[in-house]
Structure 1
Amino acid sequence: MLFWVLALLILCGFLWHYKGQLKITDITDKYIFITGCDTGFGNLAARTFDKKGFHVIAACLTESGSTALKEETSERLHTVLLDVTDPESVKRTSQWVKNQAGEKGLWGLINNAGVLGVLAPTDWLTVEDYREPIEVNLFGLISVTLNMLPLVKKARGRVINVSSIGGRLAFSGGGYAPSKYAVEAFNDSLRRDMKAFDVHVACIEPGLFKTDLSDPVKTTERKLTIWKHLSPDIKQQYGEGYIEKNLSALLISPSSYNWQDMSMPSRLKRISSI
Structure 2
Amino acid sequence: MWLYLVFLLGLWNLLRLFRERQVVSHLQDKHVFITGCDSGFGNLLARQLDRRGMRVLAACLTENGAEELRSKTSDRLETVILDVTKTESVVAATQWVKERVGNRGLWGLVNNAGISISWGPSEWLTKQDYAKVLDVNLLGMIDVTLSMLPLVRKARGRVVNVSSIMGRVSFSGGGPYTISKYGVEAFSDSLRRELSYFGVKVAIIEPGSFKTAMSSSDRLLSNIKMVWDQASSEVKEIYGEDFLASNLAKLKSLDQKCNEDLSLVTDCMEHALTSCHPRTRYSAGWDAKLFYLPMSYLPTFLVDAMVYWISVKPDKAL
TM-score by length of 1: 0.93
**Alpha-carbon offset, residue 17 of structure 1:** 3.1
Residue 190 of structure 2 aligns with an amino acid whose one-letter code is S
Separation in 2 of the partners of 1:28 and 1:111? 21
Cα pair distance change 1:245/1:11, threshold 3 Å: closer
**Alpha-carbon offset, residue 242 of structure 1:** 2.2
5 Å-filtered alignment, 1:1-274, equals: 8-9=8-9, 11-171=11-171, 172-252=173-253, 254=255, 256-264=256-264, 266-271=267-272, 272-273=274-275, 274=278
What are the Cα deviations for residues 173-222 of structure 1, in whole angstroms up to 9, with x where unaligned? 42111111111111011001001000001111111101011111111111
**Alpha-carbon offset, residue 7 of structure 1:** 6.8
Q: Would you say the 8 A contact 2:125–2:231 is kept in 1? A: no
Residue 200 of structure 2 aligns with an amino acid whose one-letter code is V
5+ residue gaps, structure 1, are none
Residue 232 of structure 1 aligns with an amino acid whose one-letter code is S
Residue 245 of structure 2 aligns with an amino acid whose one-letter code is E
User: In terms of mean alpha carbon deviation, does 13-22 or 81-90 score higher?
Assistant: 13-22
What are the Cα deviations for residues 67-119 of structure 1, in whole angstroms up to 9, with x where unaligned? 00000101110000000111011011101101100011011110000001210
TM-score by length of 2: 0.80
**Alpha-carbon offset, residue 251 of structure 1:** 2.9
**Alpha-carbon offset, residue 28 of structure 1:** 1.3
**Alpha-carbon offset, residue 249 of structure 1:** 2.4
Residue 128 of structure 2 aligns with an amino acid whose one-letter code is E
User: In terms of mean alpha carbon deviation, does 85-94 or 171-180 score higher?
Assistant: 171-180
Residue 89 of structure 1 aligns with an amino acid whose one-letter code is S
Cα pair distance change 1:253/1:192, threshold 3 Å: closer
Q: Would you say the 8 A contact 1:209–1:259 is kept in 2? A: yes
5+ residue gaps, structure 2, are 279-318
Helix, strand or coil for the counterpart of 1:175? helix
Separation in 2 of the partners of 1:229 and 1:197? 48
Cα pair distance change 1:229/1:12, threshold 3 Å: closer
Separation in 2 of the partners of 1:141 and 1:30? 22
Helix, strand or coil for the counterpart of 1:239? helix
Helix, strand or coil for the counterpart of 1:22? coil
User: In terms of mean alpha carbon deviation, does 13-22 or 146-155 score higher?
Assistant: 13-22
- Count of matched residue pairs: 273
Work out the percentage of aligned pairs sharing the same amino acid: 48
Residue 100 of structure 1 aligns with an amino acid whose one-letter code is R
**Alpha-carbon offset, residue 20 of structure 1:** 3.5
User: In terms of mean alpha carbon deviation, does 244-253 or 80-89 score higher?
Assistant: 244-253
